[in-house]
Amino acid sequence: MAELGLENWQDYRPLLATLAAIPLLLWLVLKWKIPAFTALIGVSLIAALAAGMSSEAAYATITAGMGGTLGFIAVIVGLGSLFGALLEAGGGLPRLARLLLGERRGFGGQLMTGMIGLVVAIPVFFDVALIVLAPVVVALARRAGRPVLAFGLPLLAGLAIAHAFIPPTPGPVAVADILGADLAWVIQAGLAAGIPALLVAGPVFANALERFGQMPEARLGHDGVSDEIENAVSGRIVLLLILLPLVLILTQAVLALTGVGGAASDVFALVGHPFAALLIGCAIAGLVVANKPQPIRDRVSRGIAEAFAPAGAVILVTGAGGAFKQVLVDTGAGAQLAGLVLAFGMTPILLGYALALIVRVAQGSATVAMITAAGMTAPLLIGQDLGGFDVALIVIAIAAGASALSHVNDSGFWLVSRIFGLSEAATLKTWTVSSTLLSITGLFACLALSLLA
């Protein structure tokens, strides 16, 4: 161990405390079913004390970590949830799906179904988007005379990529904040790695199952025709609303990168910040639905109230992840972990992916896996001369690791099983394999992009 500098174990008390904290966290969540927020805060305190911090310093570190993270995350998640609720309650998502699909029935239809999932799940939570769009997929499969999952798997791949790879969904926003990544770079890296992953985990995998006679039968609990909401927002307007915040954020980043000055640059510096971009999206969406009849406005009111419940849980877990990260930084455990990782020749991309994969498989939640892995990876980046795209690729690698092997401890597994009427074995053979292909492809895409960056 001398070559790793571990000959004096007492000096590495913070590192040992951190390495013991991860199995403790998993034990609390899995064995005792303690909520992730409570478990993360408790483990952060225990790790800080075990590393040698005084109780006063430990509490100050946890407070600083939680507050520093939530200053940005709470606003983004809150505005994103409001934006998604406005779009979903306006009733235009099925219309958007039909607009983009048109008469496509073959590979093009499968690919477009995946892209619909990706676009819709950017502002809308995974479960809501799946429930809304699944009937559209069933109707499309019937029209094409093909199995439901020939289009269902591409949809799921698109939903999963948006959920983990593309801001302003909470997971990548939280990881970006913990690692200090710019959201515009994360959007670009997420799309660059996510589209190949969508292609492999969606249309390619679905066609392989169908070709070899391994595609299970799937169906919804009704006739597969989604209910049309009278006077719903049009599909074109929904698409423009979804793209608006992304375009504003990316335009501001491009202008900043090129060094362009003047009035246009100043305007986009204001409206291209994620806060302003989402505020503008919410304001325009609100104006659109405000002109709709009373039934639509009532749906929007209910949707907004329901959207903030899951958003609150995400915000708390994210803040606890920030507290855990701050413990690693302030105790020095992060620097020691960085030295250990470098001694083994492991890059931050591979470490982040591996940590997220381990936590994901153990406890199921992709968001918790992403935040835990980000907290342990962040100290490795301190002092390193990494560009904005390099850090963004680490964010996406963590997201890829947290997307793998969705199985029986993941609520998404049971949602897919229930929505498509699949047995546990059939869900493992389809959705679990698809999520793993998505993860592996995303990792290789990040590694390839890192060589070009």
Is residue 105 very low, low, confident or very high in pLDDT (cuts 50, 70, 90)? low
Q: What is the model's pLDDT at position 325?
A: 80
**12-57 pLDDT tens trace:** 788 888 788 878 887 887 788 888 889 889 999 999 999 989 999 9
- HSE-up (13 A, CA, CB side) for residue 287: 7
Token reading at 227: 């209910």
**182-214 pLDDT tens trace:** 988 999 999 999 999 999 999 999 999 999 888
Q: What is the model's pLDDT at position 342?
A: 67
> Where do the domains of the chain lie?
38-452
Q: Is 428 exposed, middle or buried (0-12, 13-18, 19+ CB in 10 A)?
A: middle
CB 192 within 8 A of CB 445: yes
The whole-model pTM stands at 0.81
| CB contact set of 260 (below 8 Å; sequence gap of 6+) | none
